[in-house]
Amino acid sequence: MSAFLALIQRDLRISWRLGGGGLLGVLFFLSVVVLMPFALGPDIPLLKRMGPAVLWLGAMLASLLTLDRLFTADLEDGSLDLLLMSPMPLEMSCLAKGLAHWFATGLPLIVATPVLGVLLNLEPETSLFVALTLLAGTPALTFTGMIGAALAVTMRRGGLLLPVLVLPLSIPVLIFGVAASNAAVTEQGLFGAPFSILCALTLAGFIIGPLAAAASLRQGLD
């Protein structure tokens, strides 16, 4: 357990001191949201109606942007080999890395959501609801994406392949995330059911993501 926590601590410290991957993701999130009015026109009611969808799409793309770094940095400096050889199961290491990655890159997106909601003319409580669905859903994005990152790290030009591998797998998260936030915005439709499924996807991601990622790392790096 101490190794688990130490790995989380190490990854968080690295991401805090180097590169600032989390802030880069937020910047990308901001750029996507800012681009939307240029594409759709400065139509306030339209932006308001599309707000939750835009926020979800932006968060999804931003979390995709930082995924590439999940394993590559460790591969480059050789610590991935140490993780492979360590007595802690590789699945647990992947879980720890995924959690740390989410804290470093996913959480800043959620914190930024209410601020970006203002740009889309969302009511404050609506933004909070979207942030809540993101809080429930972004771990699923991270842990689905982790599978793609683990596959991509073992090959050259893997970074190019990553979005193609990950995006189809993340469609369910997007559907239920937007469904739950729309229910909160328009006050029609169910909020509880899609939100619960979103939580279920995250919980399933905690299991499937590390298992599949560890399998592909083990197969790819021997």
Partner 1 sequence: MLFARLANPSRFLSFTARILPWLAVATAVLMVLGLYLSWTAPDDYQQGATVKIMFIHVPNAWLSMFVWMVMSVSALGTLVWKHPLADVAAKAAAPIGASFTFLALATGSLWGRPMWGTYWQWDARLTSVLILFLMYLSLIALWRAVEDPTRAARAAAVLTLVGAINIPIIKFSVEWWNTLHQGNSVFRMDGPTLDRAFLMPLFTMAIAFTLLFITLHLAAMRNEILRRRVRTLLLMQAGGRAP
Q: Count the alpha carbons within 13 Å of 114 in the hemisphere toward its beta carbon.
A: 8
Asked if 157 touches partner 1 (CB under 8 A), the answer is yes
Asked if 75 touches partner 1 (CB under 8 A), the answer is no
Distance CA 132, CA 57 (A): 15
With contact defined as beta carbons under 8 Å apart, do 54 and 120 qualify?
yes
Asked if 216 touches partner 1 (CB under 8 A), the answer is yes
Nearer to partner 1, 114 or 172 (CB): 172
Site of tokens 């357990």: 1
Site of tokens 């229910």: 183
Task: Out of 72, 79, 121, 154, name the contact with partner 1 by CB under 8 A.
Answer: 154
Asked if 81 touches partner 1 (CB under 8 A), the answer is no
Amino acid present at 81? D
Task: Out of 176, 185, 199, 210, name the contact with partner 1 by CB under 8 A.
Answer: 176
Sketch the per residue contact string, 119 through 148, with partner 1: x for CB under 8 A, - otherwise.
----------------------------x-
| Nearest distance from C-beta of residue 140 to partner 1, angstroms | 11
Asked if 208 touches partner 1 (CB under 8 A), the answer is yes
Nearest alpha-carbon partner for 14 in 101, 95, 86, 94: 101
Written as six digits, the tokens of 22 are: 């989390």
Distance CA 216, CA 183 (A): 38
Nearer to partner 1, 22 or 51 (CB): 51
Nearer to partner 1, 51 or 108 (CB): 51
| Nearest distance from C-beta of residue 167 to partner 1, angstroms | 8
Site of tokens 């997007």: 174
Asked if 172 touches partner 1 (CB under 8 A), the answer is yes
Radius of gyration over every alpha carbon of the chain, rounded to an integer in angstroms: 18
Q: What is the DSSP string of 151-165?
A: HHHTSTTHHHHHHHH
With contact defined as beta carbons under 8 Å apart, do 120 and 48 qualify?
yes
Point out which residues bind partner 1 (CB under 8 A).
Answer: 147, 150-151, 154-158, 161, 164-165, 167-169, 171-172, 175-176, 179, 189, 194, 197, 201, 208, 212, 215-216, 219-220
